[in-house]
Amino acid sequence: MRIVQIFLLFFTLVVVAACSSGKKAYKHGNYYTAVVQAVERLRKNPDHKKSAEILRESYPMAVRYYTLQIDNVRNSSERFKNGMIYDYYRDLNSLYENILRSPGALKVIPNPQNYTREAEQYRRQAAEERYQAGLASLAMGTRLDAIDAYYHFLKADEYESGYKDVENKILEAREIATLKVVVEQLPVPTMQYQLSVEFFQEQVDQMLFNYQENPFVRFYSSQDRNLRNPDQILEIRFDDFVVGETHSFTESKEVTRDSVVVGQVTLEDGKKRDVLGTAKATFIENRQEIVSTGLLTVRAIDPHTQRVLLHEKLPGEFVWVSRWATFKGDERALSDQQLELTKLKPLPPPPPQTLFVEFCRPIFAQLQSKIYAYYRNL
């Protein structure tokens, strides 16, 4: 019963909020939202008096607001004034279409104003002004200006799909704007870990060749013969690595535990009583560590000037551990954890290839972070 009451209360609050939202928007001067919300209420309930009142008051105010904004922009020195005016006309037409689709709203506003002709006129002018802005930026000849041109051409195409030769201009601007980086993963001078090295390099290639953080940066393989004039060379190489460095440790200590039953005595009345004492043992813990480490160097170089743009050294380490123990004496002196260790046996170490892969994991994480951070804003 209580769940039903809560649901009814929630439903009531939603309805009240919905019915008053148009009025609230009107009071805050948001006439567009007030019209849309009032029309929506009238679409569901054509006789809703409060929504009809809000629509009757807010629609003329919305038209007045937008036409004033259009006049102000038309007389201004705004760079992309045609696009701004088109956007205003588009909003006015959106209100027009909303009212047409609501019989209840049409009773209140029987002749909503249609601005399709005006919007169409300024849409083409908006496409032209963006197209010309793109040409001007492209003519500057720099990569950053090409990025600017790319977005101008996209906007022109958004206003009018296929405007002039804008599709070709988008491709041209993006080609000039894209920083082209050749990736050179230098070989490791050993065959023992060749499979692991190749696995790491494949991960790096997959990360770089699928890179999407910055749409104006693209990575190429050093084997790609189609790229003749790269902007950067990204060198990745292992400076040094050690796989399977073994360290063994043994620690022996005396352990005791008080209040342990060490025997029994018979009392005069014939009853037996436990004798408490101290249990003692020698606990011997063994630990074997196999340490694998590596150091990766990453450099970004300008091939035209040989200037080093990025230089990072990324360390990685993996420590494999095996623990076991033995004891001499009374096992009751051992803690639960110590007793569990005495049940363990020395583990066989992983193969060297696995150790190589494991110490590469933190290196790869650092590499990805550095690459993303460096190229994000270029």
Do 166 and 188 lie in one domain? The reply is no
pLDDT tens figures, 1-56: 455 444 444 444 444 444 444 889 999 999 999 999 999 999 999 999 999 999 99
Q: Where are the beta strands (DSSP E) in the chain?
A: 179-185, 217-221, 232-266, 272-301, 308-329
What local confidence, expressed as pLDDT, does residue 9 receive?
46
Q: Find tokens 């230098």 and name the residue.
A: 186
User: Domain for residue 345, yes or no?
Assistant: yes
pLDDT band at 276 (very low <50, low <70, confident <90, very high): confident
Q: Is 112 in a helix, a strand, or coil?
A: coil
With respect to residue 4, please indicate whether it lies within any of the assigned structural domains.
no
Specify the pLDDT at position 18: 46
Classify burial at 258, counting beta carbons within 10 Å of its beta carbon; exposed 0-12, middle 13-18, buried 19 or more.
Answer: exposed
Query: Could you tell me if residue 121 is inside a domain?
Result: no
**Phi then psi dihedrals of residue 269, to 5 deg:** -85, 5
The model's confidence at residue 191, banded by pLDDT at 50, 70 and 90, is: low
Structure-token match 């906007």, residue found: 155
For residue 91, tell me if it sits in a domain.
yes
Query: Are residue 199 and residue 340 in the same domain, yes or no?
Result: yes
Number of domains in the chain: 3
CATH code, 338? 3.30.160
Q: Which of 114, 147, 167 is the last residue of a domain?
A: 114
Structure tokens at 319: 């420590």
Residue 119 lies inside a defined structural domain of this protein = no
DSSP state of 369: H
Query: Burial, 375: exposed, middle or buried (Cβ in 10 Å; 0-12, 13-18, 19+)?
Result: buried
Q: What is the DSSP string of 136-172?
A: HHHHT-SHHHHHHHHHHHHHHHHHSTT-TTHHHHHHH
Distance CA 66, CA 262 (A): 97
Of 67, 83, 114, which closes a domain? 114
Question: What domain range is 146 assigned to?
Answer: 126-177
Chain Cα centroid distance, residue 14 = 34
Residue at a domain's end among 61, 87, 114: 114
Q: Are residues 152 and 239 in the same domain?
A: no
Do 157 and 52 share a domain, yes or no? no
132 falls within a domain: yes
- Verify that 172 and 194 share a domain, yes or no: no
- Please check whether residues 79 and 93 belong to one and the same domain: yes
Helix, strand, coil percentages, rounded to 5, for the chain: 50, 25, 20
Q: Same structural domain for residues 228 and 290?
A: yes
Average pLDDT over every residue of 89-116: 96
Q: What are the tens digits of pLDDT across the range 61-82?
A: 999 999 999 999 999 999 999 9
Say whether both 84 and 217 belong to one domain. no
CA distances from 31 to 27, 34, 58, 192, 274 (A): 9, 5, 5, 73, 92
Are 312 and 246 part of one and the same domain?
yes
Instruction: Answer yes or no: is 237 within a domain.
Output: yes
pLDDT tens-digit readout, 294-337: 999 999 999 999 999 999 999 999 999 999 999 999 999 999 99
Distance, CA of 293 to CA of 256 (rounded, Å): 40
Please tell me the distance from the alpha carbon of residue 205 to that of residue 220, in angstroms, as a whole number.
9
Q: How far is CA 345 from the centre of its chain?
A: 44
Domain membership flag for residue 254: yes
Are 71 and 140 found together in one domain?
A: no
Instruction: Clarify whether residues 321 and 208 are in a common domain.
Output: yes
- In terms of domains, do 130 and 236 share one? no
Q: Predicted confidence band at 196 (pLDDT cuts at 50, 70, 90)?
A: confident
Residue 294 amino acid letter: G
Instruction: Assess whether pLDDT exceeds 80 at residue 177.
Output: yes
SS3 (DSSP) at 272: strand
